[in-house]
Amino acid sequence: MSTAAIIVAAGRGRRAGEGMAKQWREVAGRTSVAWCLARFGAQRDIAPIVLVLNADDMPLAPGYRADPRILVVEGGESRSDSVRLGLLALGDSPPDKVLIHDVARPCVSEAVIRAVITALDSAEAAAPALPLSDALWRGGETVEATLDRTGLYRAQTPQGFRYAAILRAHLGYVGKAAADDVEIACASEMSVAIVAGDEDNLKITMPGDFDRAERILRGHMDIRTGNGFDVHAFEAGDHVTLCGVKIPHDRSLKGHSDADVAMHALSDAIYGALGLGDIGQWFPPADAQWKDAASEVFLAHAIGLARERGYHLTHADCTIICEYPKIGPHAPAMKSRLAGILTVSPDLISVKATTSERLGFTGRGEGIAALATATLVKA
């Protein structure tokens, strides 16, 4: 079953302090908007991700518009108006399931997201919550009454629904206030399964919540950097392939695969960050099936291993060392080719070149060397 997500980020969040709306304030190096997009984006089966923004915030999201997986939608007056507009934006190709998440919860974990998606296999609605453990009082200056907490839960997001059912519920609820989408689902008599929430999935509401979210996000971050280096010699031929781009040249690179020295260095950098060996180990040169293989197979494999382990690429930098061919004119195409294989924004990729001042084997034009660095983050 297909799953889409809606990140509700159209609110103004005044209680969290002065200045920008809370979703645009940085916490652990990224805005809440960026954290939420990364958390849901890391789940490869979720697409599209609808980002519902306040009309005033549209200029803050140019990069998100360029991402084919993200659909930027203008929100409405109230939270439920914004969710309804997000749901309607999915109408052209309706998903089976939709997860609706408040941008104020940037610490949402993969476990919570997966639990909601899985519960929707058998339930028409499912949402994370935590049973209340503190005693409950009603009062002001003094306690007026003690309350029974049995059966009470603290609600969290993402709240998940079968798309057609929640769309119907929202369309029947226009103009009325609701604390969340479960309230709207219950109003149309949907049954909502409760899945385990997470204490760390806090909602940033008051100024002090930023510090707590920062501690949670930083505490969970696993940042790894890997490097890769490769060399291929020239042989007779009429082109070289570098970063997946075919460049006419009076020689070709010699190798078992397409000899894309730059893509090999970058693949090894990713394997290196993961501590998972190198290309030669995963694709033995003695194995005839990799003869003349397109090197994107290696790079796609490396990034696939990273994603399986919960890492996402935050940056890759590749340096090609040669006198000829000239790399500069092809660098933009190389960046976008690598970004396409890695399925990340080209902004995260750098491709540059240097000569070795005519010294050594690259200087003598005997071959091309490449080195690469990749940064992976699990958060």
If the CB atoms of residues 219 and 285 are measured against Mg ion, the closer one turns out to be 285
CB of 280 to Mg ion, least distance (A): 8
If the CB atoms of residues 170 and 251 are measured against Mg ion, the closer one turns out to be 251
If the CB atoms of residues 264 and 335 are measured against Mg ion, the closer one turns out to be 264
**CA quadruple 309, 3, 78, 207: dihedral, nearest 10:** -10
Gap between the Cα atoms of 295 and 64, Å rounded: 29
Inter-CA distances, 152 with 3, 71, 132, 369, Å: 29, 36, 6, 63
Tokens of 320: 């090609």
Nearest residue to Mg ion by CB is 264
If the CB atoms of residues 72 and 259 are measured against Mg ion, the closer one turns out to be 259
Contacting range for Mg ion; rule: CB under 5 A; set: 163-171, 196-204, 225-233, 369-377: 225-233
Give bridge partners of residue 138 from the DSSP assignment: 145
Q: Which residue has the tokens 């659909």?
A: 71
If the CB atoms of residues 54 and 257 are measured against Mg ion, the closer one turns out to be 257
Contacting range for Mg ion; rule: CB under 5 A; set: 226-234, 302-310, 328-336, 345-353: 226-234
- Show the binding pattern over residues 182-221: x = contacts Mg ion (CB under 5 A), - = does not: ----------------------------------------
# residues contacting Mg ion (CB under 5 A) = 2
Gap between the Cα atoms of 240 and 95, Å rounded: 43
CA 112-116-122 angle, 5° bins: 150
- Show the binding pattern over residues 238-267: x = contacts Mg ion (CB under 5 A), - = does not: --------------------------x---
CB of 115 to Mg ion, least distance (A): 42
Contacting range for Mg ion; rule: CB under 5 A; set: 58-66, 82-90, 151-159, 227-235: 227-235
CB of 232 to Mg ion, least distance (A): 6
Phi, psi of 276, deg, nearest 5: -120, 45
CB of 125 to Mg ion, least distance (A): 51
Q: Taken in order 162, 167, 168, 172, is the CA torsion positive or negative?
A: positive
CB of 304 to Mg ion, least distance (A): 19
CB of 6 to Mg ion, least distance (A): 44
**What 8-state DSSP symbol labels residue 17?**
-
If the CB atoms of residues 13 and 226 are measured against Mg ion, the closer one turns out to be 226
CB of 340 to Mg ion, least distance (A): 21
Q: What is the 3-state secondary structure (H, E, C) of 227-283?
A: EEEEEEEEEECCEEEECCEEEECCEEECCCCCCCHHHHHHHHHHHHHHCCCCHHHHC
Is 230 a residue that touches Mg ion (CB under 5 A)? yes
AA identity, residue 65: R
If the CB atoms of residues 35 and 271 are measured against Mg ion, the closer one turns out to be 271
If the CB atoms of residues 57 and 230 are measured against Mg ion, the closer one turns out to be 230
Q: What is the 3-state secondary structure (H, E, C) of 69-108?
A: CEEEEECCCCHHHHHHHHHHHCCCCCCCEEEEEECCCCCC
**Site residues (vs Mg ion, CB under 5 A):** 230, 264
